[in-house]
Amino acid sequence: MFRFRLDGSSGVPPYLQIVHQVRQSLLLGYLQEGDRLPTVKDVAGDLAINPNTVVKAYRQLEHEGLAGGRPGQGTFITAASVPALRGAQGALRESLEQWLREADAAGLNDEAVTALIAVVRQDVKKEKVS
Amino acid sequence: MTHDDTGGSVPALRTTGLGKRYGRLWGLRDCSLSIPPGAIVGLVGSNGAGKTTLLEMIIGLRTPTDGQIEVLGHTAHANTAESLARVGYVAQDHPLYPDFSVADMFHLGQAMNPNWDMALARSRVEALDIVLERKIKTLSGGQRAQVSLAMALAKRAPLLVLDEPVASLDPVARLEFMREVMAQVAGGDLTVIIASHVVSELERFCDWLVVLTHGHVQLVGPVDGLLEEHQMLTVPRATPDADLPGIIIHRDDSDRHSSVLLRTSPATPAAQAHQGWHTETVSVEELVMAYLLRPIKAANSSNSARGAQPSGPITKVMSR
Amino acid sequence: MIWVSWRQHRSQAITGLALLCALAVYGLVLGLQMRTSFSNNNLATCLAHSQGVSCPNAVGAFDNSFGSLVNIGFWSVLLLLPGLIGAAVGAPLIARELELGTWRLAWSQTVPRSRWLVVKLAVAAAGLTVLGAAMTLVITWYRAPMDRLTGHFVHNAYDYEGFVFTAYILFAFGLAVLAGALLRRSIPALLAALVPWVAVRIVVEFVLRPHFMAPLTFRQTCPHGCGGGGGNNIVNVPPSTGHIGNLLIKTLNNTGTTQVTSYQPASRYWAFQSIEAGIFVALTLIVLGATVWLVHRRAA
């Protein structure tokens, strides 16, 4: 069974942590096409989290096309997910790594980086709206 | 103030204008809730806020002074077999009879509950390697909690009330207890109300919240909905309360800026359009603490746009 | 619910059984001793013919051997025994649930608390009744030889032989249950229950009992001086009330050669037992009824 982790103090909502872990495992190859994700009951009982959180995470994964539910059988990793994930995120990852190196060189620590990202992100959102 | 998110199905629990008076003091007043089936509700409030009173009325241990309670559509009458059958209960400190064996406790459960599921009770403790013949007084705190939980579950009631179920348990016992509860909810038609002081863990367990202070419900609703309705705004210090687009739940003023927790409604305009304003979402913990810390006056005039005077900064890290 | 009540009182039942066995062993040993001494001294014949007047030495010897053990022992600390038994069972019945917090468990099962309580009270009371009856039988058997000298209307026999012993236990039980519901602590409830129990016992025994029915009077002329109308727990020969077994109420007049006493005849013994037991049982029911009402109201 695929076992999830939960970091209760990370500030990241539990359902997102599950989604992230699935994405990460796909990228690393630990989850492959056709793998069945554990049942909602198993995850809720393993992590001691609200089952609805798991449902929400699995729905998010379906929405992103990473997983699909088969009635009566469970939730499975879909075929197309891995390459698509790798492709879209590969380029982004590289430019982010570059940017982080530059920020580090400029003397920004972790908190400064996070604060800067938050502010710029807001500005970008405003751009999108207006 | 209340959310009816039941989507048309009969609420697992509904209270209407529920109140309880002790002599001249109201322990709880005007409590109206509607909780959908399958929800896991976090009930938060300081001691004396009315939590115990509310729970006792839901369980059927106490008669309301005002208002009424319905469990799955059935009106509850305190201290009657029909009403008592509908709610399973694990009291704080997990009371059990020390000289009874685990098997004796289950025998008691069977004798006192017509819907008793002995197989469920036994399988729960066997899965945890608790021997049926052992006396309760020889069990650890975590094991006693699990036996109490097994008893409440074996009653096969649609509503389960847990009063600070893990307060006295060590970290491992806590995890194992909550694992059990979550797995049971996932498996069936159980609705759970957890009264807790551990605000930091609410997000993980609960998808509904009820916050009580001074005998009144301050906040109730699904966690997702409540988070959407609240924002943490950073604004210039000089910004007057009236300019803020929503109900002020909490405001902290620094030299040049203020942090404001706002409750918005779909009708209020977006806050982003102002220079120097910054919005963030709020965490469950911050949200709950803000409502808990609200002084009575502001809490009771929640419909006004004027906010409360802050009683102190909310910090992200809360100690229990 | 009956099983639950039994299981909760199981250890008390075992203690009661142990107590009964200890009493039975003691009673058997002493009872056989008394019977042996009785027949060795031919007291049976003497009592039948002359009510002990013609064998004062034998009577005196018997009294010396067993009098203090059998009589005084019973007319002292042991008087508390039924009170302690009843209170020990009654005090924790509700109080312990409140002390331990198990009332939250007990009263949230699918049984309304008044039914829970009524069944528990019935089971406990039934057990106490059986224990009381058994102890009464043991004591009656063991004391029988001495009773032939004192009659069983005297205080220290009457209080143990008949219906009242069980009734005393039940009354203490009822008081302790109520005290437990009010005080919420077992030990204080036990002690608090004994106070009114002792008070009522004293009033009933000394004020009411002599007058359950109008006493009769007995006049006797004794050329050699009349026997003392002394304490009721010492063998009283010749009997100042005419027959062994009558209950002396009061010496009305004693001139040395004539004596007038008021008394209750032995034939009224069981009537008196019934009246007194009835009083205590009625009081028990009142007190238990108040408890059930009180507990029911707690849910309000």
The secondary structure of residue B312, as a DSSP letter, is S
Q: In degrees, to the nearest 5, what angle opens at C-alpha C176 toward C-alphas C154 and C143?
A: 25
CA dihedral A73, A77, A80, A86 (to 10 degrees): 170
Give B272's contacts in chain A (Cβ within 8 Å): 122, 125-126, 129
Give yes or no for a contact between C194 and C172, defined as CB atoms under 8 angstroms apart: yes
Distance from CA of C187 to the nearest CA of B (A): 18
CB contact under 8 A, B179 and A13: no
What's the pLDDT score for residue B270? 55
Q: What is the mean pLDDT of chain C?
A: 87
Any chain A CB within 8 A of the CB of B287? no
CB contact under 8 A, B203 and A14: yes
Q: Is residue C256 part of a domain?
A: no
What's the pLDDT score for residue C224? 65
Distance from CA of B297 to the nearest CA of A (A): 32
Read off the pTM.
0.83
What's the pLDDT score for residue C225? 62
* Interface subset of B 154-193, CB within 8 angstroms of A: 175, 178-183, 185-187
CB contact under 8 A, B84 and C109: yes
Give C123's contacts in chain B (Cβ within 8 Å): none
Structure tokens at B241: 């309360």
The DSSP bridge partners found for residue B44 are B211
Structural domain boundaries of chain B? 13-221, 224-300
Smallest Cβ distance to A41: which of B175, B178, B186? B186
Number of H helices, E strands in chain B: 10, 14
CA distance C188 to C205: 26
Q: Say which residues have a Cβ less than 8 Å from residue C92's Cβ, sequence separation at least 6.
A: C180, C186, C189
Give chain C's residues under pLDDT 50: 229-234
User: Which 3 state secondary structure label does DSSP give B235?
Assistant: strand
Q: How many folded domains does chain C comprise? A: 1
Do chains A and C have 3 or more beta-carbon pairs under 8 angstroms? Answer: no
Any chain B CB within 8 A of the CB of C243? no
What's the pLDDT score for residue B282? 87
Any chain A CB within 8 A of the CB of B38? yes
What's the pLDDT score for residue B271? 53
Q: How many CA atoms lie within 13 A of A9 on its CB side?
A: 5
ipTM for the complex shown: 0.84
CB contact under 8 A, B205 and A49: yes
Give C100's contacts in chain B (Cβ within 8 Å): 95, 97-98
Does residue B317 have a pLDDT over 50?
A: no
Tell me the one-letter amino acid at C247.
L
- The set of chains that have 3 or more CB pairs under 8 A with A is B
Give yes or no for a contact between C27 and C141, defined as CB atoms under 8 angstroms apart: yes
Q: Which residue of C has its CA nearest to B107?
A: C4
Give B162's contacts in chain C (Cβ within 8 Å): none
What's the pLDDT score for residue B279? 82
Any chain B CB within 8 A of the CB of A51? yes
Comparing B244 with B152, the larger pLDDT belongs to B152
CA distance C5 to C7: 5
**In the predicted model, what is the mean pLDDT of residues B58-77?**
92
Give C110's contacts in chain B (Cβ within 8 Å): 81, 84-85, 112-115, 155
Pick from C236, C266, C209, C202: which is nearest to C71 by CA? C236
Give A14's contacts in chain B (Cβ within 8 Å): 203-204
Q: Which residue of B has its CA nearest to C6?
A: B108
Burial of residue C38, with CB atoms counted within 10 A of its CB: 0-12 exposed, 13-18 middle, 19 or more buried: buried
Distance from CA of B179 to the nearest CA of A (A): 4
Structure tokens at C296: 């029911």
C166: containing domain: 2-212+279-298
Q: pLDDT tens-digit profile of B34-61?
A: 999 999 999 999 877 889 899 999 999 9
CB contact under 8 A, B79 and C113: yes
Give C108's contacts in chain B (Cβ within 8 Å): 59-61, 84, 87, 89, 91
CA distance B208 to B43: 9
> CATH number of B13-221: 3.30.70.1380, 3.40.50.300, 3.30.2320.80, 3.10.150.10?
3.40.50.300
- The set of chains that have 3 or more CB pairs under 8 A with C is B
Q: Is residue C106 part of a domain?
A: yes
- The set of chains that have 3 or more CB pairs under 8 A with B is A, C
Give yes or no for a contact between B53 and B219, defined as CB atoms under 8 angstroms apart: no
Mutate to test the interface with B, among A52, A126, A128 (most CBs of B within 10 A): A52
CB contact under 8 A, C110 and B112: yes
Length in residues, chain B: 320
Mutate to test the interface with C, among B112, B116, B135, B161 (most CBs of C within 10 A): B112
Edge-to-edge order in the sheet of strand A67-70: A36-37, A74-77, A67-70
Pick from B30, B37, B42: which is nearest to B5 by CA? B37
Most confident stretch, B49-58, B105-114, B294-303, C215-224: B105-114
Instruction: Provide the pLDDT confidence category of residue B281 given band limits of 50, 70 and 90.
Output: confident
Pick from B129, B156, B153, B123: which is nearest to B143 by CA? B129
Comparing B92 with B307, the larger pLDDT belongs to B92
Mutate to test the interface with A, among B124, B182, B201, B274 (most CBs of A within 10 A): B182
Give yes or no for a contact between B181 and B192, defined as CB atoms under 8 angstroms apart: yes
Q: What is the mean pLDDT of chain B?
A: 85
Give yes or no for a contact between B220 and B36, defined as CB atoms under 8 angstroms apart: no
Any chain B CB within 8 A of the CB of C300? yes
CB contact under 8 A, B182 and A49: yes
Q: Is residue C34 part of a domain?
A: yes
Give chain A's residues under pLDDT 70: 79-88, 128-130
Give yes or no for a contact between C108 and B94, defined as CB atoms under 8 angstroms apart: no
Pick from C83, C262, C91: which is nearest to C167 by CA? C83
CB contact under 8 A, B182 and A8: no
* Backbone dihedral angles phi then psi of residue B12, each to the nearest 5 degrees: -65, -40
Q: How far is CA A100 from the centre of its chain?
A: 20
CA distance C107 to C294: 14
- Point out the least confidently predicted range of B100-109, B288-297, C126-135: B288-297
Beta carbons within 10 angstroms of residue A89's beta carbon: 13
Give A117's contacts in chain B (Cβ within 8 Å): none
Using the CB atoms, write b or e for C286-297: b if 16+ within 10 Å: ebbeebbeebee
User: First vs last Cα of chain B: how many Å apart?
Assistant: 27
What's the pLDDT score for residue C146? 85
Distance from CA of A104 to the nearest CA of B (A): 25
The secondary structure of residue C126, as a DSSP letter, is H
What's the pLDDT score for residue B257? 87
**In the predicted model, what is the mean pLDDT of residues B274-293?**
85
Give yes or no for a contact between B72 and B6, defined as CB atoms under 8 angstroms apart: no
Q: Say which residues have a Cβ less than 8 Å from residue B195's Cβ, sequence separation at least 6.
A: B43, B44, B51, B52, B55, B161, B162, B163, B164
CA distance C11 to C70: 30
